[in-house]
Structure 1
Amino acid sequence: MIRIVIIILTCLMLSGCVQQRILDQVQSVHSVAFDYVDDDSVKGTLTMPKFNPDKTVDISVFQKVSPSNESFRLSANSASPKAITSGQARVALFGQELAENGVVHTINTLYRDPSVGTRLYLAVTEGKAGKFLEKSYPLADSPSLYISDLIKQNINGDNLPRTDLHYFVNQYYDPFQDPFLPLLKLSEDKVNVVGLAIFDGYKYVGKINMHQAYVFKSMLHDSDSGKYPIKFGDYSRPNTAVVETLESKRKRKVKMTSGTPVFDITIKIRGKINENIKDINLKDPKTIKKVEKEMEDSVKKNGLNMLKVLQEKHVDPLGFGSDLKHQVRGIDSSEWRDELYSRAQFNIHVKVNIVQTGITE
C-alpha cells in the first residue's frame, strides 16, 4: 500500500514538472489584429502576456507580415522563440482596408484553428487594426481585456446585437443573410464602438451608426438592453430624453403580394428614463405619452431609412430572406438577392411603453 502511494505521488510530481516545462515553452495569444498589405499579404499583430519574476505582467506585441492564405499563428511561430497558442484569444480585429478587400482567408484560418474558440469576438476598425493593440489603456490591464470587455458590455447593456466568430461564420454560410460586426474607432487612450460594419459576403461595404444599431438590434432579435435618445418639445426649446430598454420583443411576418414580398415588423419596447429633464415634468402622464409617441415615430422612421440603404447596397444582414424562404416554397437565394429583395416592401409597427422614470431634484 505504501509503495502504491509513493508511486502515485511520484507521478503527480513528475506531471507537475512536465506541465511547468510546457507552460514555459509556449506563448498564449490574447488578441490579434490583421491589416492589409497587398492582395497576397497581411500584417498581423499579436498581444501576449509576459510574466515577470516579480509576479508583474507585461504585454508583448509581436508583428509579422505573412501570406494572406496562411495561418498567421503558424507563420508567427517561425519567428518566435516559443510556440504560440491561440486558445486564450479574446478578440480579433480587422483593419478597414483589409475588411474592404475581404476577410475570407483570415476568417477561415481562425475558424479552422482548433485552438481558437468560436466565441471569439470580432470587430472592424476605422484605420489600422494593429494600432488598437499597440496602445495601453488606463481602464484595463491589457488591450485584449479592454476591447473584449467593451464589445461584451455593448452587447449586454447597449445597442450592439449578438455577434462573435460563430455568428459571423453562420451568417456568411447562410445564403439568405449577410454578416455584420462591431465597428471600432480609436480616440487617444480609449476605443469607442461607433456602429456596425455591414458585409456583402466577406467584404465590408457600409456601416450604420449606433443610433441605427438600436433599431437594427430591435429588428433582429428580442433584447433587454439598448439606449435610444429622443428629442421632443418645441423647436425653440428642444429636450432630449434617453430611453433605456428593459425589454424589446419583435415579430416578423411576410407575404407575397403580386410577386412582391411584403414584410410586417412589429416591435414592442418597455423602457425607462433614468434622469429627469430640465423644464419637463416626467410625472405628467401626458408628457410620458409624448415621449412614447416620439420614440415610436423615430424608431419607425430610422428603421425604414436604414432598410432602404441596405436594399440599395444589396445586403441583407437582418436575414429577411430567411423569413421568406420559410414562408414561401421554392424561393432560392439567387432569386431573393437578384430580384425580390430590391423591391421588397417593409411595414414597421412600433409600440413603446415607458414604465419607469428617474426623478431628481
Structure 2
Amino acid sequence: MRKIILLLFMVSTIFAAGCTQEGQRSSVEDLALVSSVGIDYVNDKELRMTVSIPQPRGESPVLTEVYSVNAEMIQEGLVDISSEADKMIILNQLRTILFNEEFAQSGMVTKVVEHFYRDATIGNKIRLVIVKGKAEDILKTDYPENEHMDAYLNDLFHPKLHNSFSPFTSVHDYISTQKSPIYHTMIPYLEKKGESLKITSIALFNDERMIQTVNTQESLLIQALKGIKKLSPLAIKFKENNQDEQLFIEQIDNDLKVKSNKNTESPKLDISLKLEGVIVEYKGKRDLSKSGEIKKLENKISKHLKNDIEDILKKLQESEVDPVGFSEYFRMYHKGKWTDELTQNIIKSAKYKVNVEFEILNTGTLK
C-alpha cells in the first residue's frame, strides 16, 4: 500500500513539474525585456517614448525590435507599447536611458529618472545619456559593426581607462547630485557620427536643466579636479609652435590637494595637482634624450595645463555650476545647516589659486 501511495505521489509531482515548466515557457514568450529607453521632447505635457527590445538570434528577422509612442506619463507609454508589441514590457534588463537635448533643457529629466529610480525591479546602475537630435533615431538606426544595440550601448558606456573623461552617470548618481546642495549633475553627450556613435562632450546641469556642454578635454580636467587618480590619455596642442607642436600622454596619474580658507563670505581655494605620465608621441624640435630638454618640456606642459584648468574654472563659474563639489571644502568647516544659497555664493565669488606640476616618466615614439 505504501509503495502504491509513493508511486502515485511521484507521478503527480512529475506531472505538476511538467505543467509548471510549460507555463513558465509560455509566460516568458509573452514578455518583452527592454534594454534601452529613449525619451524625446514633444511639448510641456507630452513626451515620445522609444524602447529597444533585443531578440534571440534565429527567433526573429531582426535582432532588436523598436517601438515608439507618445504619452504624458511613463507608465502610460509602457502600457501602450505592450499593446503594440503584444507582449508585456519588462524593465528588469534595462541598461540605458537616452534623453534628447531638447528634453534635457526642458527641466523634465528628473521626473522621468525618479520614476525609474522608484521601480524596485530595476537596478540603480542604469546609465543616463543626452543625445543630439532624437533619441528615437539613435535607437532605430542600424550600426553595421554592432548588430545588437543593447550590447553596443552597454559597451559604449562601460567605464574604461581611455574614456575616463566621462562621468558615466547612473540613475543613482543623478538622484544623488540632484538632491545634494554641493554638486551639480554631469551626463555624457552622445552624437551619431557616420555609422557609429561617439561621446563628443559632457552635458552640464544647473539644477534640473541642461545648460551647456564641455568638451572631453575639459571634462578630463574636471575629473582631475574631482581627484580621479587614473586619467584617460591626453592630447596637447601648443598654441605657439615655434619649438613644441603637440604631444600625446598616456598612463596619467593624478595627485590632487585642495585647501580652502574656510571663509564662506570671501572664499578662496588653493588647488595643487601633481601629474605624471608617459609621452608616447611628440612633434617638435626638442631632443628629449637630454634631461635638460625634458625638464623644459615638463615646465611647458605644467604651464599649459594650469592655463587650461584656470579656463575651465572660469567657464564653470560664469555658468554658475560646480560639478567638482568645491563647496564641500567649506561645508566641512561650516557650523549649522548648509544651504543651496551658500553653494551659489561659493560658486560665484570663489577665488582660485592653481598650481600644476607635471613629470614625464618615460617617452615613447618621438618625431
Whether the aligned pair in 1 keeps the contact of 2:262 and 2:329 (CA below 8 Å) is no
CA distance in 2, matches of 1:311, 1:193: 24
Point out the more displaced range, 234-243 or 194-203: 234-243
Deviations 1:255-285 (A, max 9, x none): 2358311122222222112235475544333
Q: Does residue 266 of structure 1 match 2:272? A: yes
Q: 1:291 to 1:110 in 2, by over 3 A?
A: farther
Deviations 1:268-316 (A, max 9, x none): 2221122354755443333433332233222222222212222222222
Aligned to 1:76: 81
Point out the more displaced range, 128-137 or 158-167: 158-167
The residue type equivalent to 1:44 in the other structure is M
CA distance in 2, matches of 1:45, 1:276: 46
Aligned to 1:64: 69
Q: 1:129 to 1:285 in 2, by over 3 A?
A: farther
Aligned to 1:99: 104
CA distance in 1, matches of 2:84, 2:156: 31
Q: Which of 22, 42, 49 is the equivalent residue of 2:47? A: 42
Q: 1:24 to 1:328 in 2, by over 3 A?
A: same
Between structure 1 and structure 2, the one with the greater Rg is: 2
Q: 1:240 to 1:47 in 2, by over 3 A?
A: same
Give the C-alpha shift of residue 232 in structure 1: 4.5
Whether the aligned pair in 1 keeps the contact of 2:257 and 2:273 (CA below 8 Å) is yes
The residue type equivalent to 1:299 in the other structure is L
CA distance in 2, matches of 1:345, 1:142: 49
Q: 1:142 to 1:126 in 2, by over 3 A?
A: same
CA distance in 1, matches of 2:24, 2:87: 15
Q: 1:199 to 1:154 in 2, by over 3 A?
A: farther
Whether the aligned pair in 1 keeps the contact of 2:131 and 2:191 (CA below 8 Å) is yes
Give the C-alpha shift of residue 138 in structure 1: 2.8
Q: Which of 245, 256, 269 is the equivalent residue of 1:250? A: 256
| TM-score normalised per structure 1 | 0.89
CA distance in 1, matches of 2:303, 2:211: 28
CA distance in 1, matches of 2:264, 2:63: 64
Q: Does residue 221 of structure 1 match 2:221? A: no
Aligned to 1:174: 180
Q: 1:74 to 1:315 in 2, by over 3 A?
A: farther
The residue type equivalent to 1:37 in the other structure is V
Q: Does residue 326 of structure 1 match 2:332? A: yes
Alignment length, in residue pairs? Answer: 361
The residue type equivalent to 2:135 in the other structure is A
Give the C-alpha shift of residue 323 in structure 1: 2.6
Q: Which of 163, 173, 193 is the equivalent residue of 2:169? A: 163
Structure 2 unaligned blocks of 5 or more: none
Give RMSD over aligned pairs. 2.7
Aligned to 1:89: 94
Whether the aligned pair in 1 keeps the contact of 2:267 and 2:346 (CA below 8 Å) is yes
CA distance in 2, matches of 1:281, 1:350: 24
Give the C-alpha shift of residue 94 in structure 1: 0.6
Point out the more displaced range, 298-307 or 258-267: 258-267
CA distance in 2, matches of 1:153, 1:340: 31
Point out the more displaced range, 238-247 or 25-34: 238-247
Paired residue secondary structure (2:190): strand
Point out the more displaced range, 85-94 or 6-15: 6-15
Aligned to 2:246: 240
Q: 1:344 to 1:74 in 2, by over 3 A?
A: farther
Q: How does 1:1-361 map to 2 (within 5 A)?
A: 3=7, 12-51=17-56, 53=58, 58-68=63-73, 70=75, 72-102=77-107, 103-153=109-159, 157-232=163-238, 235-236=241-242, 238-257=244-263, 259-275=265-281, 277=283, 280-330=286-336, 332-359=338-365
CA distance in 1, matches of 2:351, 2:76: 43
Q: 1:86 to 1:210 in 2, by over 3 A?
A: same
Give the C-alpha shift of residue 236 in structure 1: 4.2
CA distance in 2, matches of 1:202, 1:87: 26
Q: 1:257 to 1:176 in 2, by over 3 A?
A: closer
Give the C-alpha shift of residue 248 in structure 1: 1.8
Give the C-alpha shift of residue 19 in structure 1: 2.6
Point out the more displaced range, 232-241 or 99-108: 232-241
Point out the more displaced range, 60-69 or 47-56: 47-56
Whether the aligned pair in 1 keeps the contact of 2:168 and 2:188 (CA below 8 Å) is no
Q: 1:106 to 1:55 in 2, by over 3 A?
A: closer
CA distance in 2, matches of 1:201, 1:326: 22
Point out the more displaced range, 193-202 or 47-56: 47-56
CA distance in 2, matches of 1:44, 1:307: 36
Whether the aligned pair in 2 keeps the contact of 1:155 and 1:162 (CA below 8 Å) is no
The residue type equivalent to 2:201 in the other structure is G
Paired residue secondary structure (1:51): coil
Q: 1:339 to 1:232 in 2, by over 3 A?
A: closer
Q: 1:23 to 1:332 in 2, by over 3 A?
A: same
Paired residue secondary structure (2:158): helix
